[in-house]
C-alpha cells in the first residue's frame, strides 16, 4: 500500500462500508478477512436491503476454461447434468473481447484487466466463503438435439438468484462478526484535513458521526434520482422507470465529489432495457426482473408510428438489451410493442408468462393492429407486410447461433433470426424504458482507492461496484455488474482493511 492510516488514532471501527448490495457485502467480508472490524451502513430497511443486487437474477460472468473449472464453482453439478450439457468455454480473451467490443473500446484497460483476470479467482473465493452457484439453464441455454448448449459466455447464477445472493452474503457477514446497520444512510464523509476519517450517518432522523480508519463507498449508481438522471443522462430520462431499488440516488457520488474525487467514465450513459410499459416507478421485489422483455431478437418492435426502429437481431440479446432501453425511450411517447407469431412463442423467456404483463393476442394481424394501444394501425400493417417480404427464408433459422437469417432491402435491417410474422395466434407486449444502473462514477486505482483530480489517492477512501466509473460505456455484457462488484469489492475491502490497520 502506498499510504497507511496512522496507527494509534482512535476510530469507532476500522472499516465502514456504505451500501448493502453485492459490492458492499463482498468488501465487508474481505475487510473482515483482512483482520478489520467492519460496519456496514445500509440505507434501506432490512426487507428492502441489498440494492440492485437483490433485484438481479444472480447471473454472474467470469472466465472459465471448460466444465472442469465449472465443477469447482458448482459443486452440486451432477454427472447427468454434465452429460446433458455443452457448457463450452469462456476464456479470458473472450471476456476481454466482450468488454471492449460492447464499450466501443472505451473501457479503462486497467480496470478491465483486473475484472477479467480476477474473475475466476473471485468466484472461487465466493464459493469458498459459502455461496452456491447453479447453471442458468432457463435463459442462457437452448436445447439442441437433446443437449443443452450454452451461448454468450454467461453460464452461472447464484443459487436463489439476487435475493439468495444478498441473503447468503448478509448471513456470512453476520457470522463473521460484521455489524450491519439497516435504515442507516451515510450523508457525508468526515474529511477534516482532506483525509477521509469516517462518515456522518442518519438513522431514523438522527445524525451521528462514525469515525473509521477507512471508508468503502459501495452505494450503487444514481439511477433512482430523477433529477440526476435528467441532469447527467439528458432530458427525457426522468421519464424512465427504475428497474431496481429506489435507494440508489447517487449519495456516494455526491459525497465523493465533495471531497475532491475525480469523476470517471460514461456519466451520460446507463444500462437500460425494454421494460413493461405499466411497471411501477421503481422495482417491485415481488416481480424482480420479471418486467423485462428480452426476447425481441425473435420478433419485431414497432413504435407509435407503427414503424420498426432498431435491428432486433443485431446480436445475441446479451449484447444488445442494455442499450435498447435508450432506443425505446427515444421513440414517440417512450414506448414500443414487441410482436411475435406462433412459430416463436415457445422461445419466449419466462418473463413473458408473468401475470403482471401488458399483453394482447389476436387471431389476425388486422385484429392485432387494432389492439396495439397508441399505434398507427395502418402503418403497422404496412410494416409487417414489408418486413415479411424481406425475410431471407432461404437461410435456416437457428436460435443458438447468429444464424444470418436476415432481411434484405429494409431501411432498418434485421440481421439474424428473421422469421415472417404470419402464423396466428399473434402476441404483442408493450414496453417502455427501464433503467438498470448508471455508468458514470468515481475513478479508482488497482487497489480500489478513490483518486482525486490530481490522480492521487484520497487518503482513507475506497470504492467498488456501480459507483466506480470507467468500466462500462454505452453498453455492458450481461452478468458483469455482479462480477465487477465482487472483484472490486473484494479488492476494496482488502485494501481498506490494510490501510486502516496501518499495514
Q: Is 364 exposed, middle or buried (0-12, 13-18, 19+ CB in 10 A)?
A: exposed
| Cα–Cα distance measured from residue 331 to residue 57, given in angstroms and rounded to the nearest whole number | 28
Strand partners, 198: 211
Distance of CA 67 to the CA centre of its chain: 25
What pairs with residue 434 in β-bridges? 241, 273
**For ligand FAD, the closer CB: 256 or 384:** 256
**Cβ distance 32 to 176 under 8 Å?**
yes
As measured in angstroms, the least distance from the Cβ of 52 to ligand FAD is 3
Question: In the complex, what is the shortest distance from the CB of residue 196 to ligand FAD, in angstroms, rounded to a whole number?
Answer: 15
Residue 25 C-alpha cell reads as 457485502
The three grid cell numbers given for residue 439, joined into one nine-digit string: 455508468
Least gap, CB of 453 to ligand FAD (angstroms): 22
Nearer of residues 196 and 339 to ligand FAD, judged by Cβ: 196
Q: How far is the CB of 357 from ligand FAD (least distance, A)?
A: 16
Least distance CB 303 / ligand FAD (angstroms)? 24
Complex with ligand FAD: residue 243 or 449, whichever CB lies closer: 243
Q: Which is nearer to ligand FAD, 387 or 439 (CB)?
A: 439
**Count of other CB atoms within 10 angstroms of residue 130:** 12
Kindly state the helix (H) or strand (E) to which residue 458 belongs, with its residue range: strand 457-463
Helix ranges, 34-87 (H): 51-55, 67-73, 79-83
Residues interacting with ligand FAD, by CB under 6 A? 18-24, 41-44, 49-53, 55-60, 185-186, 218-220, 243-245, 247-248, 251, 289, 436-437, 465-466, 479-482, 485
Q: How far is the CB of 190 from ligand FAD (least distance, A)?
A: 14
User: Given the complex with ligand FAD, which of 358 and 436 has the nearer CB atom?
Assistant: 436
The label of the residue with cell 453476520 reads: 174
Helix, strand, coil percentages, rounded to 5, for the chain: 35, 25, 40
Q: Which residue has the cell 472466465?
A: 63
Q: Which is nearer to ligand FAD, 50 or 493 (CB)?
A: 50
* Nearest alpha-carbon partner for 299 in 156, 470, 441, 416: 416
- Provide, rounded to whole angstroms, the least separation between the CB of residue 147 and ligand FAD: 24
Label residues 434-449 b or e (16+ Cβ within 10 Å = b). bbbbbbbbbbbbebbb
Shortest Å distance, C-beta 54 to ligand FAD: 7
In the bound state with ligand FAD, the residue whose beta carbon lies nearer, of 469 and 481, is 481
**Which residue lies nearer to ligand FAD by CB, 140 or 383?**
140
Q: What are the φ and ψ backbone dihedral angles of 370, each rounded to 5 degrees?
A: -70, -20
Q: Is the peptide bond before 323 cis (omega within 30 degrees of 0)?
A: no
Cβ proximity to ligand FAD, 21 vs 297, nearer residue: 21
CB of 460 to ligand FAD, least distance (A): 17
Grid cell at residue 188:
457525508
Amino acid at each position: 500500500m502506498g499510504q497507511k492510516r496512522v496507527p494509534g488514532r482512535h476510530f469507532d471501527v476500522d472499516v465502514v462500508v456504505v451500501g448493502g448490495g453485492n459490492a458492499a457485502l463482498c468488501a465487508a467480508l474481505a475487510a473482515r478477512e483482512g483482520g478489520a472490524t467492519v460496519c456496514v451502513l445500509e440505507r434501506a430497511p432490512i426487507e428492502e436491503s441489498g440494492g440492485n443486487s437483490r433485484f438481479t437474477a444472480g447471473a454472474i460472468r467470469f472466465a472459465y476454461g471448460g466444465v472442469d473449472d465449472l465443477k469447482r464453482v458448482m459443486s452440486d453439478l451432477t454427472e447427468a447434468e454434465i452429460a446433458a450439457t455443452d457448457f463450452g468455454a469462456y476464456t479470458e480473451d473472450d471476456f476481454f473481447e466482450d468488454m471492449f467490443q460492447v464499450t466501443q473500446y472505451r473501457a479503462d484497460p486497467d480496470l478491465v484487466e483486473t475484472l477479467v483476470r480476477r474473475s475466476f479467482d473471485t468466484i472461487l473465493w465466493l464459493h469458498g466463503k459459502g455461496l452456491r452457484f447453479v447453471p442458468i439453464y432457463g435463459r442462457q441455454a437452448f436445447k439442441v438435439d437433446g443437449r443443452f448448449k450454452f451461448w454468450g459466455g454467461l453460464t452461472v447464477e447464484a443459487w436463489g438468484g439476487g435475493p439468495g445472493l444478498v441473503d447468503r452474503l448478509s448471513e456470512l457477514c453476520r457470522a463473521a462478526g460484521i455489524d450491519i446497520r439497516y435504515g442507516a444512510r451515510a450523508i457525508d464523509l468526515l474529511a477534516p484535513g482532506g483525509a477521509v476519517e469516517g462518515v456522518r450517518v442518519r438513522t431514523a432522523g438522527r445524525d451521528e458521526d462514525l469515525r473509521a480508519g477507512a471508508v468503502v463507498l459501495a452505494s450503487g449508481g444514481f439511477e433512482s434520482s430523477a433529477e440526476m438522471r435528467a441532469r447527467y443522462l439528458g432530458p427525457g430520462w426522468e421519464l424512465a422507470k427504475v428497474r431496481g431499488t429506489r435507494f440508489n440516488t447517487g449519495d456516494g457520488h455526491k459525497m465523493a465529489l465533495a471531497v475532491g474525487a475525480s469523476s470517471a467514465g460514461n456519466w451520460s450513459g446507463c444500462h437500460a432495457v425494454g421494460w413493461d410499459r405499466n411497471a411501477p416507478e421503481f422495482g417491485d421485489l415481488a416481480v424482480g426482473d420479471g418486467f423485462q422483455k428480452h426476447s425481441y431478437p425473435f420478433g419485431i418492435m414497432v413504435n407509435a408510428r407503427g414503424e420498426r426502429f432498431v435491428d432486433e437481431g443485431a446480436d445475441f440479446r446479451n449484447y444488445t438489451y442494455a442499450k435498447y432501453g435508450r432506443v425505446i425511450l427515444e421513440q414517440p411517447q417512450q414506448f414500443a410493442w414487441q410482436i411475435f407469431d406462433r412459430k416463436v412463442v415457445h422461445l419466449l423467456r419466462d418473463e413473458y408468462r408473468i401475470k403482471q404483463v401488458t399483453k394482447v393476442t389476436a387471431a389476425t394481424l388486422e385484429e392485432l393492429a387494432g389492439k396495439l394501444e397508441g399505434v398507427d394501425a395502418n402503418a403497422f400493417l404496412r410494416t409487417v407486410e414489408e418486413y415479411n417480404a424481406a425475410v431471407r427464408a432461404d437461410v435456416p433459422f437457428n436460435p443458438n447461433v447468429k444464424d444470418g437469417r436476415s432481411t434484405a432491402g429494409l431501411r432498418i435491417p434485421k440481421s439474424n433470426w428473421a422469421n415472417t410474422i404470419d402464423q396466428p395466434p399473434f402476441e404483442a407486449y408493450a414496453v417502455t424504458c427501464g433503467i438498470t444502473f448508471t455508468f458514470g462514477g468515481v475513478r479508482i486505482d488497482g487497489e480500489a482507492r478513490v483518486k482525486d483530480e490530481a490522480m492521487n489517492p484520497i487518503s482513507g477512501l475506497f470504492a467498488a461496484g456501480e459507483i466506480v466509473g470507467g468500466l462500462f460505456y454505452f453498453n455492458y455484457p450481461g452478468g458483469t455488474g455482479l462480477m465487477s462488484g465482487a472483484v472490486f469489492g473484494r479488492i476494496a475491502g482488502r485494501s481498506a482493511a490494510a490501510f486502516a490497520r496501518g499495514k
